[in-house]
Amino acid sequence: MIKRLFIANRGEIALRIIRTAQRLGITTILGASEADASSLPAFQADEVAIVGPAPSNQSYLDVDAVIAAAKAAKADAIHPGYGFLSENARFAQAAADAGIIFVGPDISSLNAMGDKLMARKVGIEAGLPVVPGGEAANKDEALARAEETGFPVLLKAVSGGGGKGMRRVDRAEDLSAEIDTAMAEAQASFGDPRIYVERFIASGRHVEVQVLGDGENAIHLGTRDCSIQRRFQKLVEEAPAPAMPVEKRAAIEDAAVRLTRHLNYKGAGTVEMLVDAETFDFFFLEMNARIQVEHPVTEAITGVDLIEQQILIADGNPLGIRQDDLTLSGHAIEVRINAEDPDADFRPSPGTITRAAWPAGPGIRVDTHIATGGKVPPFYDSLIGKLIVHAPTREEAVEKLGAALATMQIEGITTTASLHAKIAADAGFRKGGVDTRFFKEFAA
């Protein structure tokens, strides 16, 4: 039985994990940097252990420092949240070596999904469709691949994420120069210059499936649509994926469960698919072996606490939920409130929050670590909170989102709330089912 849970993260997700763990009767220890020593998660945690100074490479990303703090705190389990060390196989191994349960999948699953190319290979083994393309060790191979798949193509970094090293190429004559840039970016960002070539799907939607597995059985908890992105960073997420035929959605969910079974996957995971917005054909992209930022929309429509499920599975319990037990109810939308100025090229806006009046009431959930008087330090990412609305239909959820954003008042720093209010009023968004080009056109 997990009795002492070490939370190796910060911000809203740390607070979110602490709340569920405390409800389950587990003692929580927050591993905080010096800059977060008096944050709201630190205030809420039963105990606080300082893992290092403010910069994340000396604290939240320092495997040895985090493991040492967890050992000193006599933790029997570590929850890594998302980002930081959450998908780091070396960290999971170090926890295991210290006799501490890693709340996440087995190391074999982390390795299987460790880079995009390996994920692609595993997807093919599990019988999932993937976007035509493949690895390219040099320019000749890249050109050969591109000729197989046809232009335009997308160059992607094998170890990539967050859009870095990703480039669209429309013409064969541009390929050589673009490969140089993509390889340089991949090397600078990930220390791995390898790239691969994929057919570019012009009108694609980012649809993902939440799955749970206990190593033997696997279930899905429906889809999420995260097509509204800026530079491959998600801004708005909703569940289930709207404006899609039911049987197409079911095919995507089934494929995700097939992959989860194939991996004998343990814990909560997200299977990401690229869906053609016109034909609804889908292609497997990768699996995120962690809790996702956007998990609350799934919780809203299923009533399942995903952090609780992660903890129960990590503790060795078999899945307590069967597929037939689940019914998806209503529609949920999440918007990410970031400390950024949407009118100044999304420039970061850290500082002190002089007033934080977040929306409240039935059908509204706010996951945040920011209260009035709180500080947004300049060391970490800009997410200050997530507003999640849930209603019987998508139309009602969109209405609720607009009304909630209109009531919200965050003062002292600039946030993306105003941008979300405009998105909530946009005709294309209100109609539903937009593709990943939405934001570029919306912002133009």
Partner 1 sequence: MSKLPLTPDAVSEIVAIIDGSGYDHLDIKTDAFRLRLRREGGGDGSADGWTQDWSFSEAEAPAGGDKVATVAELPDGLLGIAAPLPGTFYRAPQPGAPPFVEEGETVDENTVVGIIETMKLMNPVHAGCSGTIEKVVVNDATMVDGGATIMHVRPA
Q: What are the residues binding partner 1 (CB under 8 A)?
A: 19, 22, 34-40, 42-46, 54-55, 339, 347-352, 355-362, 364-366, 369, 371-375, 377-382, 402-404, 406-409
* Complex with partner 1: residue 25 or 245, whichever CB lies closer: 25
Cβ contacts of 324 within 8 Å, gap of 6 or more: none
* Complex with partner 1: residue 171 or 231, whichever CB lies closer: 231
What is the smallest separation between the CB atom of 118 and partner 1, expressed in angstroms? 26
What is the smallest separation between the CB atom of 385 and partner 1, expressed in angstroms? 12
Compute φ and ψ for 110, nearest 5 degrees.
Answer: -60, -40
Quick check: helix, strand or coil at residue 30? strand
Residue pair 239/332 in contact (Cβ under 8 Å)? The answer is yes
Which residues in 80-217 belong to E strands, given as ranges? 101-102, 133-136, 153-157, 167-169, 195-199, 204-214
What is the smallest separation between the CB atom of 43 and partner 1, expressed in angstroms? 6
**Residue 209 amino acid letter:** V
Tell me which DSSP letter residue 104 carries.
S
Burial of 322 (0-12, 13-18, 19+ CB in 10 A): exposed
Clarify whether 258 is annotated catalytic: no
* Complex with partner 1: residue 124 or 371, whichever CB lies closer: 371
Pick the catalytic residue: 167, 205, 224, 290? 290
* Complex with partner 1: residue 162 or 318, whichever CB lies closer: 162
CA distance 9 to 130: 33
For residue 52, how far is the Cα from the chain centroid?
Answer: 25
* Complex with partner 1: residue 163 or 351, whichever CB lies closer: 351
Q: What radius of gyration, in Å, describes the C-alpha atoms of the chain?
A: 21
What is the smallest separation between the CB atom of 329 and partner 1, expressed in angstroms? 17
What is the smallest separation between the CB atom of 6 and partner 1, expressed in angstroms? 16
Q: Which long-range contacts (CB under 8 A, 24 or more apart) does 400-408 make?
A: 400/363, 400/364, 401/333, 401/335, 404/359, 404/364, 405/335, 405/359, 407/357, 407/359, 408/357, 408/358, 408/359
Residues acting as catalytic residues: 290
